[in-house]
Amino acid sequence: MGSLYMVEDDVRDGRLTAPYGFVPDDSEYVLLSLWEFAKDKRQFIFLEWVRYEMQKSRFGLEQSPQLPK
């Protein structure tokens, strides 16, 4: 068992399978900072990149033929 984000490469490359798909467990990843992301362009760009990569990973795994839709 593991987070789809942690096993993405292994599922994609066929080293692991997810015969029952992934079950949401209400866990979350949190990006913390002492300063507001909106006030620092570099932090905001990084935040948007992390969001994009997480969505890209999830979409890619959901489209995988190894996972039920």
| Matching residue, tokens 């990843």 | 29
Asked, for residue 68, whether it belongs to a domain, the answer is no
CA angle 28, 58, 53 (to 5 degrees): 80
- Domain count of the fold of the chain: 1
Tallying the residues shown for the chain, one arrives at 69
Asked, for residue 55, whether it belongs to a domain, the answer is yes
Q: How far apart are CA 49 and CA 36, in angstroms?
A: 16
Q: What is the pLDDT of residue 1?
A: 67
Amino acid at 13: D
What does the pLDDT look like over 8-53, one tens digit per residue? 888 888 999 888 877 777 878 888 888 888 888 999 999 999 888 8
Asked, for residue 42, whether it belongs to a domain, the answer is yes
Q: What is the separation of C-alpha 29 from the centre of its chain, rounded to a whole number of angstroms? A: 9
Contact between 44 and 37 under an 8 Å Cβ cutoff? The reply is: yes
Q: Which domain holds residue 18?
A: 8-62
